[in-house]
Amino acid sequence: MRVLVLGGDGYLGWPTAMHFSSAGDEVWVADNFAKRQWELEEGVEPIAPVPTLHRRVRRWKELTGKTIELRVGDLTNHRFVYNLFQAAQPEVIIHYAEQPSAPYSMQGRTTAVLTQMGNVTGTLNVLFALRRHCPDAHLVKLGSMGEYGTPNIDIEEGYLTVTHNGRTDTVLYPKKPHSFYHLSKVHDSNNIAFTCRIWGVRATDLNQGVVYGIDTTETLLDDELATSFHYDHVFGTVLNRFVVQAVMGQPLSVYGKGGQTRGILNIRDTLQCVELAARNPAKPGEFRVFNQFTEEYSILNLANLVQETGRTRGLDVVIENVANPRVEQESHYYNAKHSKLTDLGLQPHLLTSEVVGSMMDRVERYRDNVNLDTMEPRIKWVGGGVEAG
């Protein structure tokens, strides 16, 4: 397949590009490197320096003989997107190119607007470029389980059949997102569903849970092929943060009671799920929604697992319930369906003490790089936080 990965410099985008290239697909990547700029502005860094995308693409070629085509540009510039789609003629477009952090989006007006303008405009440009230059291409868009929030009923895969005043219809599942970032994904989902309906676009929205992990088969080939692993309060996801805290002898920062339940998945399973979606495309006009996670965990249970694993390795890991900087339910019903990717053949890498232990080993190697000042949550959902304009 000709695969175009948008956001190819990111935590998931780069491993995805190598994964398809390694399978023999023709891979193009595009990025504007905005994430690197936001890291500079926030004063945070990945745990290990991440070589530039140009360097990684060169290294990949040296090691495997395979070419990844690289284009630099911004999806909010529609001319860039049109030219890119015309040149690449992708059969599948994997779209990760968005501001990915809920806390970042909640700092204030500036970052909320940047997140929604960038994410929503970029996706609209992708849809228009797709219609113009490759109308048969399959759009695989990274959405989020946080679009649904934590409703008091079962979460279905994208759609809900409702009977109202004696009549029945199937509608997009109602959304109660956690942040302005998650809202941007809801807006994207609606825009994509609309273009499937009116233009016959074929699309899969992957509502992904919280990803953890550092390594994939391809990143392990060479240090220079590493992906960006964050543990800071802006871009670090919860399990990645807990593992770094455990290794560094810091208390695990459970926000509030820790009863928040989330779908989680290993970074290796992100690659598997995206590949399954790409190789089994949606039909023309179909807006397909997959809930992309492999298991559910409460935040406290994640902390317990990290604590137990740490103790078997002689680490004295303490759990601390810190005041929750977010507005979210800390104890709630949660039952999210996630059978569609399993039906396509997903073989999950489940979370075990061994997996946590191997993450600890990797983090240990970089312990001298860890900046503890960037760990404490400083962005609050209501008032009192860092106000970026």
| CB 387, min distance to ligand USQ, A | 19
Task: Single out the residue of 81, 57, 60 nearest to residue 70, CA to CA.
Answer: 57
Task: Single out the residue of 244, 278, 187 nearest to residue 1, CA to CA.
Answer: 278
Among 21, 76, 123, 253, binds ligand USQ (CB under 6 A): 253
Residues 6+ apart with CB under 8 A from 124: 191
Does 144 engage in binding with ligand USQ (CB under 6 A)? yes
Does 296 engage in binding with ligand USQ (CB under 6 A)? no
Position with the least CB separation from ligand USQ: 146
Does 254 engage in binding with ligand USQ (CB under 6 A)? yes
Residue placing its CB nearer to ligand USQ in the complex, 68 or 299: 299
| CB 31, min distance to ligand USQ, A | 16
Among 262, 338, 362, 380, binds ligand USQ (CB under 6 A): 262
> Which DSSP category does 173 fall into?
P
Does 299 engage in binding with ligand USQ (CB under 6 A)? yes
Q: Which two tokens stand for residue 357?
A: 């232990």
How far apart, in whole angstroms, are the C-alpha atoms of residue 341 and residue 304? 28
Residue placing its CB nearer to ligand USQ in the complex, 21 or 294: 294
3-class DSSP assignment, residue 4: strand
Among 35, 138, 241, 340, binds ligand USQ (CB under 6 A): 241
Helices (H), the chain: 13-22, 34-42, 53-64, 78-88, 102-105, 109-133, 180-199, 238-247, 267-279, 299-312, 340-343, 353-365
The answer to whether the beta carbons of residues 56 and 218 sit under 8 Å apart is no
| CB 77, min distance to ligand USQ, A | 23
Can you say whether the dihedral through the CA atoms of 172, 176, 178, 180 is positive or negative? positive
Stretch that binds ligand USQ, among 2-10, 67-75, 154-162, 248-256 (CB under 6 A): 248-256
Q: Which two tokens stand for residue 340?
A: 């569609």
Among 70, 145, 336, 356, binds ligand USQ (CB under 6 A): 145
The answer to whether the beta carbons of residues 8 and 53 sit under 8 Å apart is yes
Does 298 engage in binding with ligand USQ (CB under 6 A)? no
Can you say whether the dihedral through the CA atoms of 165, 169, 171, 175 is positive or negative? positive
Among 101, 111, 150, 227, binds ligand USQ (CB under 6 A): 101
Q: Which two tokens stand for residue 277?
A: 């979606």
| CB 237, min distance to ligand USQ, A | 4
Residue placing its CB nearer to ligand USQ in the complex, 85 or 242: 242
Residues 6+ apart with CB under 8 A from 325: 103, 255, 377, 378, 379, 380, 381, 385
Interaction pattern, residues 200-239, with ligand USQ; x per rule: CB under 6 A: --------xxx--------------------------xx-
Residue placing its CB nearer to ligand USQ in the complex, 6 or 68: 6
How far apart, in whole angstroms, are the C-alpha atoms of residue 195 and residue 250? 48
- Residues 175-204 contacting ligand USQ, CB under 6 A: 182
Residue placing its CB nearer to ligand USQ in the complex, 90 or 236: 236
Among 105, 260, 307, 374, binds ligand USQ (CB under 6 A): 260
Q: Contact positions toward ligand USQ, by CB under 6 A?
A: 100-102, 144-146, 182, 208-210, 237-238, 241, 253-255, 260, 262-263, 299, 326, 328
